Amino acid sequence: MSTELTHTCSRCRGYKLDTNYALCPVCDVKWKEIKNPLFLCLCQYGHSRSVCLARVLHSKKQQAIAAGVGTCGEWIAPLCRRADMILILETSFKKHVPGVEQWKVVDFHVGPDRWVNPYNQELNAILKAMVEQKLKL
């Protein structure tokens, strides 16, 4: 089996070979069953959309980090490695997630930032509905 399909489990640092089935063979944990998962919210600069999404997740007692693909530079890779789930706020941001971590990506596409403010009520309502629909939280 190709090593390009491997990733490092963020819980035990063991390896999982099948990226189509999110199960680590070392710790035998499905990512959807991880208690208290860490969500990485990625937008362009990490100031508006990702912060709003992280706040929505915090309100549901979830761990979440907001980051920007344009401002994190070399830190994107270790952040993606540590995250249990990566929530991208534009579909095109998936290209910034390292290939071995792309199985963790969930598309939360809301389009380009037209809100500018992470406290915008419209953006908050959109993301809250998406969290409930896509993550069942």
Output the 3-class SS for 74-98: HHHHHHHHHCCEEEECCHHHHHHCC
What's the chain's length in residues? 137
Q: With a cut of 50, list the residues of the chain below it in pLDDT.
A: 1-7, 15-23, 25-26
Give the pLDDT confidence score for residue 103 in this predicted structure.
82
110-to-25, 31, 37, 47 alpha-carbon distances in Å: 35, 24, 23, 15
Tens digits of residue pLDDT in 35-54: 788 999 999 999 999 999 99
The answer to whether 70 and 87 have CB atoms below 8 angstroms apart is no
Q: What percent of the chain has pLDDT over 90?
A: 62
Q: What is the pLDDT of residue 25?
A: 46
Give residue 84's pLDDT: 87
Looking from the CA of 26 toward its CB, the CA atoms found within 13 Å total: 12
Look at residue 89 in the predicted model and tell me its pLDDT: 97
Cα 29 to the chain's mean position, in Å? Answer: 18
| Residue 104 CA from chain centroid, whole number | 7
- Could you give phi then psi for residue 4, rounded to 5 degrees? -70, -15
In the chain, domain spans: 32-135
Determine the Cα–Cα distance for residues 100 and 115; give it in Å rounded to an integer.
32
Query: 57, 29 in Cβ contact below 8 A?
Result: no
pLDDT value at position 47? 95
Using the structure block, give the residue that is written with the tokens 């490092």. Answer: 8
> Domain 32-135 adopts which CATH fold?
Rossmann fold (3.40.50)
* Residue-averaged pLDDT of the chain: 82
